[in-house]
C-alpha cells in the first residue's frame, strides 16, 4: 500500500472502534469531536507534509525491509544522517502545527525495540526480533500511526513493580497461553493514543528477577478488546466548544493525552517483543528514553519558533518593537531555542551503530538535550508573556469584540499600534496564551519538564554517562599529579 494522504488517514481513523471517554461520557465519534479534532489534525499534518515534494527528503525514507518509500515516523534509522533528519523533521512539524504532532513516541519505540530485541534473541535464542521486524513491515505497509506506551501509573514510587500493594500499578502479564499472553494494567500520559491505529507497549523502569511478569513489551491495535482510553483535561479545553476561533488561540492544531486501561487484553505470540527477560527491561527503557530525549531538540524547537514569532508580532502590535529591552529579550529567546536545536543535532551527529544495525544517538548528549528542554522553554514562555503584556490573560472574549453594544468599547480601548486591528492583536495574544498557558502548553511547557522522563531522570543518566573518572585522570595528567 502506498503512503496515505492526510484525508485517507482521517478516514482510516473513522473505521477504528476506539473506546474513548471524556468528562464522564463515552465519545462516540472521536474523529469529529471539537475538543479532540485539533489533535487529529496535528497527526494528519504528518501525512500531508509527506506528500509534498518540498519536504520529501525530511518526511520520508526508504524502508529497510522493502526498499519502498515510507513515512519517516516508521523508519529504522540507518545512519547519523537519518538521526539528524529526524530532528529537522520534528522542528518542521512544530513550526507547521505549533502543537504536539504525537508520532515521535512510536518512532522512538520502533528504534529502541528493534535493537533491544536483537540482543535478547542473541542471548536467549528467542524470536522477538523477527516478530518485531514483521510487525514494523506491517505498519509500513499500512502507513499506520503507532503510539508508544511506556509510563505506568507506578503507585508507590518507593516500591518495585512486584512489591506494590495493588499489582496492577505496573502493567503485567496475568496469563500465559500457548498462543499468547493476557495483560492487565494501565499506561498514563499517552500522547496521541486516540489518534493511532497501533500501540507498542514497553516497561517503564529497570527490573529485577521478581518483576518477571512486568518485563513485557508487545504491540496491539488501539481498538483491541479490553482497551479503554480516558482523556486528560487541558487548560482552556472547553473553549473549543464555544465556536470562537480567536479565543482558542490555535484553532486548527493541538495535542491530547489519555490514560489507557488494559483490561485483560490478549496479545498473540507474534506480537510479543519481551516477556520475562528482566535484565533487558532497563536496556529498552534507556534506549527509548535516549531517542525520545533527542526528539525534544526538534519538536519543542519548532513550537518555540512559533512562540518567538508571536512574541515579536505582539511587540510590533504593542508599538514597542524598537525598545532595546524588547530586542534583547527576543535575542535571548532565539539563543535558548537554537541551543536546544544544537543539542538535538549534536546527539544525532555523534550517534553510532548498534549490534542490530540501526543507529542510536549519543546517550549523554541526548540527556543533556532534554535537561536543557526542562528549563529553556519555561524561560522562552516567560519572556513571551513579558513582551506580550498582562493583556495576554485579561483580554475580553471574541463574543465581546463582536457584540454591537460593548464591541465598540473593546475596539476603542484595546487599540495599540497604528494600522493594527484589535482583532489581529487579540489573535496573536490568544496564540501566546495558548502556547504558554492553554491547551498547547501541555505539549510545550509542561511536557518539556516531564515528557521523556522528569529532570532527575536525565541527571541520573548524565551521571552515568559523564565519565567523571576519565575527567579526573585528565586533570591529574595535566597537573602532573602522582599518586
CA distances from residue 44 to 9, 28, 75, 91, 98 in whole angstroms, order as listed: 7, 20, 18, 16, 14
DSSP line for 357-399: S-EE--HHHHHHHHHHHTTHHHHHHHHHHHHH-GGGTTPPPHH
User: Do 186 and 166 form a contact (C-beta atoms < 8 A)?
Assistant: no
Tell me how far apart the alpha carbons of residues 396 and 405 are, in angstroms, rounded to a whole number.
Answer: 14
CA distances from residue 213 to 127, 155, 210, 359 in whole angstroms, order as listed: 18, 17, 8, 30
Residues 6+ apart with CB under 8 A from 162: 210, 211, 213, 214
The pLDDT value given to residue 456: 94
Task: Classify the C-alpha dihedral 471-472-475-477 as positive or negative.
Answer: negative
* Catalytically annotated residue among 60, 292, 347, 398: 292
The pLDDT value given to residue 445: 87
Residue where the block lists cell 465519534: 29
At 199 the three-state DSSP class reads strand
* Catalytically annotated residue among 119, 140, 198, 447: 447
Which triple of cell numbers denotes residue 215? Answer: 518485563
Tell me how far apart the alpha carbons of residues 183 and 227 are, in angstroms, rounded to a whole number.
Answer: 11
DSSP line for 215-251: -EEEEEETT-TTEEEEEPP-TTGGGGGTT-HHHHSSS
296 catalytic? Reply is: yes
- Over residues 78-123, the pLDDT tens digits come to 999 999 999 999 999 999 999 999 999 999 999 999 999 999 999 9
292 catalytic? Reply is: yes
Residue where the block lists cell 514510587: 157
Residue where the block lists cell 505549533: 98
The pLDDT value given to residue 367: 97
257 catalytic? Reply is: yes
* Catalytically annotated residue among 46, 145, 214, 299: 299
Entry pTM: 0.97
Domains and CATH numbers, the chain: 6-89+96-280 (2.40.110.10), 283-467 (1.20.140.10)
* Catalytically annotated residue among 119, 198, 257, 286: 257
9 catalytic? Reply is: no
| Phi, psi torsion values for 200, nearest 5 degrees | -100, 125
Which triple of cell numbers denotes residue 406? Answer: 460593548
Interior/surface letters 338-366, b for 16+ CB within 10 angstroms, e for the rest: eebbebbbbbbeebeebebebbbbbbbbb
User: Do 440 and 251 form a contact (C-beta atoms < 8 A)?
Assistant: no
Q: Which strand (E) or helix (H) includes residue 261?
A: strand 257-268
270 catalytic? Reply is: no
Identify which of 40, 57, 261, 233 has the alpha carbon closest to the alpha carbon of residue 149. 261
* Catalytically annotated residue among 80, 100, 341, 354: 100
104 catalytic? Reply is: yes
The pLDDT value given to residue 228: 98
The pLDDT value given to residue 212: 98
* Catalytically annotated residue among 60, 151, 191, 278: 191
- Residue ranges in the chain whose pLDDT is less than 70: 1
Amino acid at each position: 500500500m502506498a503512503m496515505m494522504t492526510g484525508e485517507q488517514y482521517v478516514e482510516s481513523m473513522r473505521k477504528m472502534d476506539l473506546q474513548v471517554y471524556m468528562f464522564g461520557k463515552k465519545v462516540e465519534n472521536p474523529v469529529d469531536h471539537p475538543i479532540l479534532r485539533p489533535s487529529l489534525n496535528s497527526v494528519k499534518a504528518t501525512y500531508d507534509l509527506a506528500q509534498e515534494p518540498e519536504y520529501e527528503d525530511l518526511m520520508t525514507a526508504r524502508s529497510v525491509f522493502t526498499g519502498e518509500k515510507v513515512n519517516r515516523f516508521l523508519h529504522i534509522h540507518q545512519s547519523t544522517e537519518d538521526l539528524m533528519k529526524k530532528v529537522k523533521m520534528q522542528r518542521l512539524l512544530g513550526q507547521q502545527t505549533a502543537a504536539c504532532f504525537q508520532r515521535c513516541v512510536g518512532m522512538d519505540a520502533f528504534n529502541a525495540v528493534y535493537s533491544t530485541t536483537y540482543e535478547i534473541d542473541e542471548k536467549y535464542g528467542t524470536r522477538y526480533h523477527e516478530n518485531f521486524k514483521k510487525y514494523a513491515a506491517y505498519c509500513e505497509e499500512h502507513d499506520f500511526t503507532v503510539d508508544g506506551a511506556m509510563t505506568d501509573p507506578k503507585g508507590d514510587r518507593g516500591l518495585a513493580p512486584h512489591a506494590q500493594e495493588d499489582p496492577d500499578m505496573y502493567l503485567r502479564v496475568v496469563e500465559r497461553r500457548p498462543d499468547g499472553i493476557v495483560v492487565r494494567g494501565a499506561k498514563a500520559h499517552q500522547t496521541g493514543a486516540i489518534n493511532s491505529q497501533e500501540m507498542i507497549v514497553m516497561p517503564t523502569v529497570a527490573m529485577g528477577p521478581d518483576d518477571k511478569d512486568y518485563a513485557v513489551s508487545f504491540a496491539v491495535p488501539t481498538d483491541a478488546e479490553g482497551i479503554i482510553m480516558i482523556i486528560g483535561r487541558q487548560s482552556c479545553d472547553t473553549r473549543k466548544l464555544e465556536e470562537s476561533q480567536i479565543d482558542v488561540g490555535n484553532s486548527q492544531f493541538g495535542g491530547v493525552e489519555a490514560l489507557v486501561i488494559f483490561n485483560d487484553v490478549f496479545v498473540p505470540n507474534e506480537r510479543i517483543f519481551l516477556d520475562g527477560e528482566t535484565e533487558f527491561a532497563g536496556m529498552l527503557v534507556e534506549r527509548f528514553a535516549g531517542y525520545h530525549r533527542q526528539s525534544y531538540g526538534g519538536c519543542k524547537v519548532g513550537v518555540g519558533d512559533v512562540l518567538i514569532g508571536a512574541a515579536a508580532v505582539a511587540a510590533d502590535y504593542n508599538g514597542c518593537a524598537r525598545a532595546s529591552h524588547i530586542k534583547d529579550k527576543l535575542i535571548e529567546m532565539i539563543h535558548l531555542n537554537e541551543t536546544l536545536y544544537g543539542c538535538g543535532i549534536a546527539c544525532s551527529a555523534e550517534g553510532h551503530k548498534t549490534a542490530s544495525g540501526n543507529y542510536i544517538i549519543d546517550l549523554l548528549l541526548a540527556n543533556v538535550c532534554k535537561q536543557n528542554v526542562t528549563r529553556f522553554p519555561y524561560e522562552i514562555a516567560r519572556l513571551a508573556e513579558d513582551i506580550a503584556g498582562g493583556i495576554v490573560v485579561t483580554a475580553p472574549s471574541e463574543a465581546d469584540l463582536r457584540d454591537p453594544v460593548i464591541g465598540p468599547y473593546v475596539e476603542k480601548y484595546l487599540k495599540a499600534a497604528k494600522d493594527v486591528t484589535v482583532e489581529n492583536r487579540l489573535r496573536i495574544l490568544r496564540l501566546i496564551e495558548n502556547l504558554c498557558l492553554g491547551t498547547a502548553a501541555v505539549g510545550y511547557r509542561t511536557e518539556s519538564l516531564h515528557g521523556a522522563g522528569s529532570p532527575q531522570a536525565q541527571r541520573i543518566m548524565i551521571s552515568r554517562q559523564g565519565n567523571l573518572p576519565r575527567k579526573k585522570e585528565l586533570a591529574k595528567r595535566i597537573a602532573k599529579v602522582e599518586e
